[in-house]
Amino acid sequence: MQVNRSLAQSVRELMPGKRNNGPNDRPVSFWKEMDRISGKPEKTAVVIFRTRGCSWYNFSSCSMCGYFNDVSDSVTAADLRKQVDFVLDQIDDIKSIKVFTSGSFLDPLEVPPEVRNYFMETVGERMSRVLIESRTEYLTGRNLEGIGRYAGTTRIAIGVESTDDSIIANSINKGTSYNKFLDAATTARKMGFETRSYLLLKPPFISELSAIRDVVRSVSMVSAYSNDVSINPMNIQRNTLVEKLWKNGQYRPPRLWSLADAILQSTDFGTEVVSYPTAGNRERGVHNDEPDANLLELIVQASLNQDFGELKRYFEGADLSAYRQELEAEAAQPYQVDFHRMANKISSGSFFI
Ligand code: SF4
């Protein structure tokens, strides 16, 4: 595994020191949304448990990850059990749930095994599908033993981000590698778990054209190890390296056209491809120069139904000449810049401050 130590240090310097963003006995958030983790569109509960956070925070963080803004160093196992009880009161007749933790549900230091089992025995037992997230290092046979026996099926979401180890190390600072993903996914699938692979569209320091190519190539490489692939376009989170670059005009989140393009090029690799963008059509999320609610909705509906026909027609019927020119111009620069943001900074005088 490669680690770029100076990148890791730059990310680390932006992270807040003490982290106590309570209340410790309530999840960070709980809501319901549509997804298709059981193979059809259905209402799905989503919980973000407040934990002590990702083990990677002890060293650094991924360059785009600001989930440390939600964690609390003082969360106890008793607090986590109360958070599980909170979820139990809210789920009604829901049959699928996605569990996020600002880290790894399978990290025993973040979610102690007794809490993990309590969740599975109470909430998990009532579900036909449970999706949990984990870094690759926790997907070992020993750590996975026993988890699968509760819910109908458990899908483990793995943040692959890219299959290019240089991007993983020098852009994302993930602290893992493509081979580690292969080992982890193979272990999980042999034990009867499903897997969802997360891929990141447009990590920093690479052009948007390269980012599209990277995602499409990555989908082709992870598809045999994934029940579905979620393409996650960058969204700008607080206190991250990506936020710093963005504020300086050195990074622009990807265009919606690019997300549509990446999805449409990835539908024939034998796995389901979904994308439910965070902050879509907003300044901090995936957006074209002009907001396009229609395009965003087509992406979400295509993801839910796995029918890409309408999205394809919309994409192919659009005049993309200005968009393509912008991408070519961006790719020709030695450094990635957000032209519009840079121009605004220069005209307001703030660029030189
Ligand atoms: S592994 Fe996940 S939770 Fe941990 S720093 Fe990276 S994106 Fe954030």
Q: Across residues 60-66, what is the average pLDDT?
A: 96
Say how far apart CA 320 and CA 119 lie, in whole Å. Answer: 48
Nearest CA to ligand 1 atom 6: 62
Partnered with residue 232 across adjacent β-strands are 200
Q: Across residues 180-202, what is the average pLDDT?
A: 97
pLDDT at 335 over 90: no
Report the C-alpha dihedral over residues 185, 113, 48, 30, rounded to 10 degrees.
120
Going from the Cα of 61 to the center of ligand 1, the distance in angstroms, rounded, reads 6
Nearest CA to ligand 1 atom 2: 103
Tokens of 202: 């447009």
Going from the Cα of 52 to the center of ligand 1, the distance in angstroms, rounded, reads 13
Going from the Cα of 12 to the center of ligand 1, the distance in angstroms, rounded, reads 13
Cα–Cα distance list, 199 to 72, 84, 167, 295 (Å): 27, 28, 12, 20
Query: Which atom of ligand 1 approaches the CA of 64 most closely?
Result: 7
CATH label of the domain that carries residue 247? 3.20.20.70
pLDDT at 68 over 80: yes
Ligand 1: lining residues by beta carbon, under 6 Å: 54, 56, 61-62, 65, 67, 102-103, 135, 159, 174
Q: Across residues 67-91, what is the average pLDDT?
A: 96
Angle at 35 between CA 29 and CA 38, to 5 degrees: 120
pLDDT-derived band at 278 (thresholds 50, 70, 90) equals: very high
Site to probe by mutation for ligand 1, drawn from 52, 65, 172 as the one with most ligand atoms within 8 Å of Cβ, is 65
Q: Across residues 114-139, what is the average pLDDT?
A: 95
pLDDT of residue 180: 98
For residue range 206-249, what is the model confidence (pLDDT) as tens digits?
A: 999 999 999 999 999 999 999 999 999 999 999 999 999 999 99
Angle at 77 between CA 74 and CA 82, to 5 degrees: 100
Partnered with residue 132 across adjacent β-strands are 99, 156
Residue 201: phi and psi, rounded to 5, are -90, 115
Domain count, the chain: 1
Say how far apart CA 140 and CA 162 lie, in whole Å. Answer: 21
Going from the Cα of 210 to the center of ligand 1, the distance in angstroms, rounded, reads 23
Nearest CA to ligand 1 atom 8: 65
Tokens of 82: 């109360």
Tokens of 289: 């120069």
Tokens of 259: 């997300």
pLDDT at 146 over 70: yes
Most distant CA pair in the chain, distance: 61
pLDDT of residue 346: 58
Q: Are strands 194-201 and 29-35 parallel, antiparallel or unpaired?
A: unpaired
Site to probe by mutation for ligand 1, drawn from 15, 49, 56, 132 as the one with most ligand atoms within 8 Å of Cβ, is 56
pLDDT-above-70 percentage for the chain? 94
Write out the residue range of the structural domain in which residue 227 sits. Answer: 5-352
Nearest CA to ligand 1 atom 3: 103
pLDDT at 338 over 80: no
Say how far apart CA 274 and CA 272 lie, in whole Å. Answer: 7
Closest to 120 in 3D by CA, of 102, 129, 108 = 129
Contact in structure between 85 and 31 (CB atoms under 8 Å):
no
Decide which of 288 and 17 is more confident: 288
Going from the Cα of 111 to the center of ligand 1, the distance in angstroms, rounded, reads 15
Contact in structure between 162 and 64 (CB atoms under 8 Å):
no
pLDDT, averaged across the chain = 94
Cα–Cα distance list, 25 to 72, 73, 115, 272 (Å): 11, 13, 13, 36
pLDDT-derived band at 347 (thresholds 50, 70, 90) equals: low
For residue range 303-325, what is the model confidence (pLDDT) as tens digits?
A: 999 999 999 999 999 999 999 99
Q: Are strands 29-35 and 42-48 parallel, antiparallel or unpaired?
A: antiparallel
For residue range 150-176, what is the model confidence (pLDDT) as tens digits?
A: 768 999 999 999 999 999 999 999 999
Query: Which atom of ligand 1 approaches the CA of 172 most closely?
Result: 6
pLDDT of residue 91: 94
- CA Rg value for the chain: 20
pTM of the model: 0.94
